[in-house]
Amino acid sequence: MRPAFRHLPTFLTFLVPLLLLAWVGQAELRRQGERAERALEEQALAFLRLADLRCTESLRGLCATLLDAVNLDRQSLPAQARTLQERESRILDLLIFDSAGGLTYPHLPPPEAGLLPFSSSPMPQLGQAEILGLAGDLTGARNLLEEAVRESDPAPRQRLQPEQRLRALFHLAGLLRRLGLKEEADVRYAQVMLFARALAGRSAQNLQAGIDPAAVELLAQVAMAEMDGRPLALLEVLRDIGDGRHADVADELLIAVADRLLSRVPLEAPEADEMRAARHAVRGLVQGRRFAREFLAFSGARLREQLLHSPRRDPVLLVHGSGPGASLVAVRACRPAERGEGEDKPGFVGIRLNIALAINALLDPLLTPERQGFVLTVADPDGVPILPVRPVEGASLPLQVPPLTTLAGLRLQAIPVDPEAYLRGQRATTRNRILLLLALSMLAVGSGFLLVRSVSREAELAQLKIDFVSRVSHDLKTPLALIKMYGETLDLGRAQTLEQSRRFGGIITREADRLSQMIHRVLDFSRKEAGTLTYSPRAVDLEDLVATVTDEYLPHLEERGAKVSVTLAAGLTSRVDPEALRNALVNLLENAVKYTPADASERRVDVVLRKDGTHAVLEVQDCGVGIPEHERARVLQGFYRASTAGEVRGVGLGLTLVRHFVEAHGGAIRILGRDGGGTIVRLTLPLMESETRSDEP
């Protein structure tokens, strides 16, 4: 069984309690979060019930009070609506319904009304008159138009239709005004107004003829007031519009006329304030008409059904519109004195309220968020927010409490006053849960990784020890066998000559040196691993030391068929342990020869010493088998030998000791490939300060 799988039960025994602890912690955090959410939901539900009660009571009471204050009198309906608005700012308009629940006020704008009083092409006489007017011949244009509107015996084929006659009269009055003939222009404008009123009932013919008599009448009245020039005359026209006397004119034209009349009055005039108030009344009238069109399209049928099926003593409430632009419609049955006579007598009277103002005024003093812990938000029946009672950060915070539907279909929702605290709690719970899972997962994975790595490391070390013992045994056995064999030969006196005795003695000495060097490396490695390997650095002339070592080792290299080339730079001094540097260089030279095959075409070793800035660089270059790039870092570790080492004897300690020496002296070691094959071992050692300063200018 492989070591990793052999320790699998131990690993699982360690992992299972961690997983169990993670599950228990996760479950407890989830329960805490659920309890906090349930508590918050219960508080929110109680708050919503209280808000529903207060909202229903307050809103119904407010609407009943405001409706009781409405008394239909002989004033025009727009004037009564303005009176209600001045009395109560929350009222937007007065509403009148017939007995069947149909809206009769505000009036709808006429469907065929356009912005311009005329839209069809003019008759020939009017076209010729316009051409003359553009050419500056106002008198000629006047004569043509007077000829066209004259009624004394015109030829039948030249007789104008009523719509054409109205158009010609209107343009003739305008020409007289441009000529400065105000009295004659007044007469013609008066004829235009009378003729326009006569044509007002012929809506189908007017639409076909492209004419709007109501708009022509209004423009004629405006022109007469402008020729009068008095602010009171302009104010009278503006008041007529605000009182609904031009209800058949398009909204856009009413607004344009009101703005034009207001611009004719100087700001410092006494009537300026009244003009602005009258213009505001016109805008209110137009807004009411627009509401009437939208109400009949979207809410009219719903209100009629409620009016016909609800008790007459209770007001009917209805939300119209959506979102912040929604309004509240409150309707009650008319009192007997308000019904009047005739077919168009009112059956119901109502008011339109600004729902945001009404709710704010009612709920703000009743529901204090600081005391309740929540803020109330109000939405229309479709769920579109109308308003919160006050601006709230994080108003989209989800709660499991569904909104309550209250009076008129309004939907109430509760938002915590301090949603950030709730969010912080949620985030903290989530964060703690994630951190717990991550911590336990990392602990489990890390522990498993360390366990597997420890087991693998132990197996690797065991294998390295086996390999080391095998290599050392093999390396020790060879020199010992040679020493024993040649020692026994000398002891038995079998050497035939003195020269042979000396050769046997040399072999014994060489093998003893190799054995001593091997033992020395093993001891140094043991001291390195134990942290007791020390050096005695001092100033060393690198050129002298490298030259001495290569000279001493040269015979040994040449004996093995190697050619040595030495290139040394002079004057390089470094603070190193000379004996350790000697051993390192010998180690590199030994490796250079040992790992160069005997049958190599060139057995050459180059030793280079040079200067590189503030460092000395010592390189030993060989033409051997080389070291693969992916193994160059590993051969510097203990007991590791390159895959290209083959059958060459060694235990893999030499480069490890060289690396320790270089790094202990502040240097570095790199192993590079050599062009054409081979290895370059580069040692970098710091120079002494005197050497670096000598290069400075």
Q: What is the pLDDT of residues 317-349, one digit of tens each?
A: 888 888 777 889 999 888 888 876 655 678 889
Q: Which residue has the higher pLDDT, 626 or 395?
A: 626
CA dihedral 326, 332, 338, 339 (to 10 degrees): 100
Render pLDDT for 445-501 as a digit per residue (tens, 0 to 9): 666 666 666 666 666 666 666 666 665 665 566 677 767 777 777 777 777 787 777
Contacts of 260 (CB under 8 A, 6+ apart): 222
pTM for this entry: 0.53
- The answer for residues whose C-beta is within 8 angstroms of residue 297's C-beta and 6 or more apart is none
The CATH number of the domain where 188 resides is what?
1.25.40
CA distances, 307 to each of 269, 313, 380, 407 (Å): 49, 11, 21, 16
Position 43 in a domain: no
Q: pLDDT at position 496, please?
A: 75
Instruction: Give the mean model confidence (pLDDT) for residues 409-421.
Output: 73
Identify whether the C-beta of residue 370 lies closer than 8 Å to the C-beta of residue 47: no
Please report whether residue 377 resides in a domain: no
Residue-by-residue DSSP string for 220-248: HHHHHHHHH--HHHHHHHHHHHHTTTTTT
Side-chain-side CA neighbours of residue 316 (13 Å): 25
Domain count, the chain: 2
* 3-state DSSP assignment of residue 564: strand
Whether 581 has a pLDDT exceeding 70, the answer reads yes
At 41, the pLDDT band (50, 70, 90 cuts) reads confident
- Comparing 12-26, 348-362, 482-496, 641-655, the range with the smallest average pLDDT is 12-26
Chain centroid, CA 246 distance in Å: 54
Geometric angle at alpha carbon 162, from 157 and 163, rounded to 5°: 110
The last residue of one of the domains, among 211, 232, 248, is 211
pLDDT in the model for residue 487: 78
Given a cut of 50, whether residue 379 has pLDDT beyond it is: yes
> Residue 438 CA to chain centroid, in angstroms?
26
pLDDT in tens, 657-667: 788 878 888 88
Residue 352 pLDDT level (bands cut at 50, 70, 90): very high
- Residue 544 included in any domain: yes
315: DSSP letter: P
Residue 659: inside a domain? yes
CA-CA distance, 216 to 191, in Å (whole number)?
A: 11
In a domain, 190, yes or no: yes
Report yes or no: 615 and 609 within 8 Å, Cβ to Cβ.
Answer: no
Q: What are phi and psi of 414, to 5 degrees?
A: -105, 135
- pLDDT tens-digit series, residues 296-325: 888 888 888 888 777 667 788 888 888 777
Residue 169 domain-assigned (yes or no):
yes
Coil vs helix vs strand at 647: coil
Q: Which of 195, 211, 227 is the last residue of a domain?
A: 211
| Per-residue pLDDT at 394 | 46
Q: Report the distance separating Cα 245 and Cα 226, nearest Å.
A: 19
- Which residue among 153, 184, 211 closes a domain? 211
Cα–Cα nearest to 608, from 555, 576, 553, 565: 565
The answer for residues whose C-beta is within 8 angstroms of residue 409's C-beta and 6 or more apart is 318, 319, 380, 381
- Taking residues 115-138, report their average pLDDT: 61
Give me the pLDDT at residue 115, please.
Answer: 46
pLDDT score, position 350: 92
The confidence band for 4, taking pLDDT boundaries of 50, 70 and 90, is very low
Higher pLDDT, 82 or 1: 82
Domain that holds residue 158: 118-211
More confident residue, 426 or 572: 572
Distance CA(560)–CA(546), nearest Å, equals 20
Report residue 654 as tokens: 């030499």
Mean pLDDT of the residues in the chain:
76
Q: What is the pLDDT of residue 1?
A: 42
In the structure, what pLDDT confidence band is assigned to residue 247 with cuts at 50, 70 and 90?
A: confident
**Which distant-in-sequence residues (6+ apart) come within 8 Å of 350 by Cβ?**
67, 94, 95, 96, 97, 329, 330, 331, 332
Instruction: Out of 47-61, 342-356, 578-592, 680-694, pick the least confident.
Output: 680-694
Q: Is residue 589 part of a domain?
A: yes
**pLDDT for 84 beyond 70:** yes
Region 567-590 average pLDDT? 85
Q: Give the distance between the most distant pair of CA atoms in the chain.
A: 175
Find which of 149-153, 358-362, 608-612 is predicted with most confidence, using mean pLDDT. Answer: 608-612
Whether residue 82 is predicted with pLDDT greater than 50 in this model: the reply is yes
Q: Give the CATH number, domain containing residue 687.
A: 3.30.565.10
**Cα dihedral 308/310/315/318 (nearest 10):** -70
| Contact assessment for residue 123 and residue 209, using Cβ atoms and an 8 Å cutoff | no
Mean of pLDDT values over 206-212: 59
Choose between 522 and 87: higher pLDDT. Answer: 87
Contact 354, 327 (CB under 8 A): yes
Residue that wins the pLDDT comparison between 377 and 93: 93
Residue 217 belongs to a domain: no
Across the range 412-426, mean pLDDT stands at 67
Note the pLDDT of residue 395: 45
Tell me the per-residue pLDDT of 516-526, one tens digit each, with 9 for 90 and over.
766 766 666 66
